[in-house]
């Protein structure tokens, strides 16, 4: 299967976009409009979101790219808020919202955003905006084969568009916006195109989903975020902060092998998933042990293939854990040493792996010294360097594999030299971009702050920068580097030597 891609933001239409394809789209929209009587109230609550966004450059982290304009969809919910996708408003410098049949633009801002579940709530400064709009209500998780209608402002026109389809499949999906989380998702054959993102999916007059992504190359397949995920998001922000979906830090394996079941003295009844490994530092390690068998999570019996039945759908076990809020506990029944044990499994939102996914709204941290640019290794940084980079394999290992293979050697954040800003003081350094820093002046580098401290507290004639690869190192003359800093910042237009 192809990786999912966001369907959300579409660039503002230009004259060059007025092609035959556009006219065909328009025809489809008119046809649906004509057959969809009595939808006025719902339609009024669906708004277009116009954003001007600016993303940082992860390899020159003090810089931001050009302003990119795009659009998506949102809908009004209770509490005078607009729900949309996080990816519609991420990195936005300005957010404008537009009501159907209204020529005015209203300024909005993000009140809450959940990048893991790709949802956001906006507030509009002008209270007139909500006049005459009845907030939409949420329905329940739809059944497969039932009909749904998407509302939105997809590419191909200016007016609101509706597409009808059926619920094709309900299962855990990778959420492309963050990239490293799988939550419940619903597949539909209703067309979901760029610009639809954040738009409501309606069944029986209620919102049963938020359109959010598609899979390139897969025809008639769009995805929407279902009510359990939306409700979890709304409940999470009850305390005014968003924590995110929790994890337990368990890697389950199926327990279908008769010998393994016999060894664990477990009856061959098709129940139970085995704890194959535990993620270091996550709370499950306090409660569970390797080869524990999880028989039940919450109210859900666990099958020997590691699935539960949820709303009539067979889903992966983490779905049961994700129902809890971060910091909560999930009751579990486990099988250990031939006995059933009841326990409470603590779960929490995992912040430790955020650099393995896409990051938003917080610009990259960096520190520049002697023209050497240090920044934390992240997935965003890796996307900014050429795929042919000689350091790529080392970075992939550091970012994605070390945590599981050698957790005790993990650093809080791995630091790379993202580039050298050429100057006389560093002209002879041969540091490849993307080199992982091990130590500076003998101090092990666990995070960016360590880099700064190591340089600022140094007293010798030289700074010694040691790298992870094969004992490589480089040396900087301390006095010369100190002197060069100001000039380098001026020459390269760096507003500050650091962002923490």
Active site residues: 87, 118, 197
User: Using CA atoms, how far apart are residues 130 and 106, in angstroms rounded to an integer?
Assistant: 11
Task: Provide the 3-class DSSP secondary structure of residue 450.
Answer: helix
| Rounded least distance, CB 49 to another protein, Å | 39
Closest CB 482 distance from another protein, rounded Å: 14
| Closer by beta carbon to another protein, 21 or else 469 | 469
When the beta carbons of 31 and 290 are compared against another protein, the nearer one is: 290
Q: Which is nearer to another protein, 216 or 471 (CB)?
A: 471
**Cβ 13 vs Cβ 224: under 8 Å:** no
* 54 class by beta-carbon count within 10 Å (0-12 exposed, 13-18 middle, 19+ buried): middle
- By CB under 8 A, name the binding residues for another protein: 251, 253-260, 262-263, 274, 276-277, 290-291, 304, 393, 396-397, 401, 404-406, 428-430, 461-462, 464, 470-477
> What minimum distance in Å lies between the beta carbon of 461 and another protein?
8
Task: Give 244's contacts (C-beta < 8 A, 6+ positions apart).
Answer: 114, 116, 117, 236, 326, 349, 351
Contact assessment for residue 419 and residue 59, using Cβ atoms and an 8 Å cutoff: yes
26 or 410: CB nearest another protein: 410
Instruction: Closer to another protein by CB, 2 or 428: give it.
Output: 428
Specify which residues 443 forms β-bridges with: 440
Tell the smallest beta-carbon distance from residue 393 to another protein (Å). Answer: 6
SS3 label, residue 397: helix
Using CA atoms in the order 54, 58, 63, 65, what is the torsion angle rounded to 10 degrees? -30
The alpha carbon of 445 is separated from its chain's Cα centroid by a whole number of angstroms, namely: 27
What is the C-alpha to C-alpha distance for residues 217 and 1, in angstroms, rounded to an integer? 9
In sequence order, what are the beta bridge partners of 200?
210
Q: How far is the CB of 475 from another protein (least distance, A)?
A: 4
């Amino acid at each position: 299967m192809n990786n999912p891609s966001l369907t959300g933001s579409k660039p503002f239409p230009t004259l060059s976009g007025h092609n035959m394809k556009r006219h065909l789209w328009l025809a489809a929209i008119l046809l649906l409009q004509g057959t969809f009587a009595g939808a006025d109230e719902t339609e009024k609550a669906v708004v277009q979101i116009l954003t001007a966004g600016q993303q940082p450059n992860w390899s020159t982290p003090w810089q931001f790219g050009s302003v990119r304009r795009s659009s998506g969809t949102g809908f009004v919910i209770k509490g005078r808020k607009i729900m949309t996708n996080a990816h519609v408003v991420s990195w936005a410098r300005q957010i404008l919202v537009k009501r159907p049949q209204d020529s005015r633009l209203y300024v909005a801002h993000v009140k809450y955003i959940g990048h893991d579940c790709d949802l956001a709530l906006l507030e509009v400064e002008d209270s007139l905006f909500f006049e005459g709009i009845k907030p939409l209500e949420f329905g329940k998780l739809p059944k497969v084969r039932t009909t749904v209608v998407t509302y939105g402002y997809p590419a191909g026109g200016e007016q609101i568009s509706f597409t009808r389809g059926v619920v094709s499949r309900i299962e855990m999906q990778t959420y492309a916006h963050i990239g490293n989380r799988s939550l419940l998702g619903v597949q539909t054959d209703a067309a979901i195109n760029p610009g639809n993102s954040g738009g409501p999916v309606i069944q029986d007059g209620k919102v049963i989903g938020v359109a959010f992504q598609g899979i390139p190359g897969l025809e008639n397949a769009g995805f929407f975020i279902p009510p359990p995920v939306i409700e979890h998001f709304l409940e999470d922000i009850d305390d005014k902060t968003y924590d995110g979906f929790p994890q337990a830090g368990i890697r389950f394996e199926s327990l279908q092998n008769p010998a393994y079941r016999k060894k664990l003295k477990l009856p061959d009844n098709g129940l139970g998933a085995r704890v194959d490994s535990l993620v270091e530092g996550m709370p499950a390690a306090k409660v569970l042990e390797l080869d524990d068998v999880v028989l039940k999570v919450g109210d859900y019996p666990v099958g020997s293939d590691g699935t539960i039945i949820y709303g009539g759908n067979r889903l992966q076990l983490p779905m049961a854990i994700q129902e809890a809020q971060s910091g909560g506990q999930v009751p579990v029944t486990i099988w250990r040493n031939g006995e059933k044990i009841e326990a409470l499994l603590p779960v929490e939102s995992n912040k430790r792996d955020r650099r393995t996914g896409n990051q938003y709204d917080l610009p990259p941290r960096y520190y520049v010294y002697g023209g050497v640019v240090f920044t934390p290794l992240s997935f965003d940084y890796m996307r900014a360097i050429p795929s042919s980079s000689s350091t790529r394999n080392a970075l992939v290992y550091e970012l994605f594999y070390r945590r599981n293979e050698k957790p005790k050697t993990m650093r809080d954040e791995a630091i790379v030299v993202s580039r050298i800003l050429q100057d006389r003081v560093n002209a002879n350094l041969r540091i490849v971009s993307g080199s992982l820093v091990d130590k500076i002046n003998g101090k092990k580098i666990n995070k960016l702050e360590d880099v700064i401290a190591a340089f600022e507290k140094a007293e010798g004639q030289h700074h010694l920068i040691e790298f992870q690869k094969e004992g490589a190192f480089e040396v900087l003359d301390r006095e010369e580097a100190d002197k060069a800093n100001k000039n380098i910042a001026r020459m390269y237009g760096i507003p500050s030597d650091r962002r923490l």
